Amino acid sequence: SEFESAKESTLNAHYTPLGIVQAIWTALANAGFTGGRILDPASGPGYFIGAMPEEIARRSSVLCVELEPTTARIAKALYEPHAKVLNMGFEAAQIPDNYFDLVVSNFPFGRYQVACHRRKPYSNWSIHNWFVGRTLDVVRPGGVVAFITSSWFMDSDSDKVRAVVARKAKLVAAYRLPQGALQGTAN
């Protein structure tokens, strides 16, 4: 069962190279983030948590959510008790709205939907857009969301998703990673 679960997750096993993770933490620190309640809703083995600057880690409580069981156990072995790790999908996690100071992650992406019954505008969006929508529910007003997602988020012919997101959040910065940036750690 573990092998089958791992095999099914390969579509979304886009682990982020350490240099990119460190650049995101540097940008967050430069923007003034010093710590708080942090969520990684698609943590994988915990790259974002493992690379968190020590001064931020000391002032933070961390929740990681990871669907794939073996990968979640790796994150638990590496980071608990500093970070709580839930082995479930983000859609199943009982996470309060307007709670986190920071959500940071490399979201899964693809042309399929999450089984979401929340009756929210994002409920039937593709998985990467769904993660953006759900994340905006759980980050507090004034909180920060820093994520990697598919180019289809910004490049979609339809502006429906971006319009909903723009009503809930202010875009501070966006960077397009070069093609193949995740290739060394994906698949």
- Give residues with Cβ within 8 angstroms of 159, minimum separation 6: none
Neighbours of 180 (CB within 10 A): 8
Tokens of 116: 């979401």
pLDDT, tens digit (0-9, with 9 covering 90-100), for 101-151: 999 999 888 777 788 777 888 888 888 889 999 999 999 999 999 998 877
Hey, is 66 helix, strand or coil? strand
Average pLDDT score over residue span 72-78: 96
- Between 2 and 51, the more confident residue is 51
139 exposed, middle or buried (CB, 10 Å; 0-12, 13-18, 19+)? Answer: buried
| pLDDT 10s digits, 52-65 | 999 999 999 999 99
Strands (E), 114-166: 139-148
Give me the residue label for tokens 């156990």.
73
Per-residue pLDDT at 13: 59
The pTM for the full model equals 0.89
Alpha-carbon distance values, 141 to 65, 134, 161 (Å): 21, 14, 20
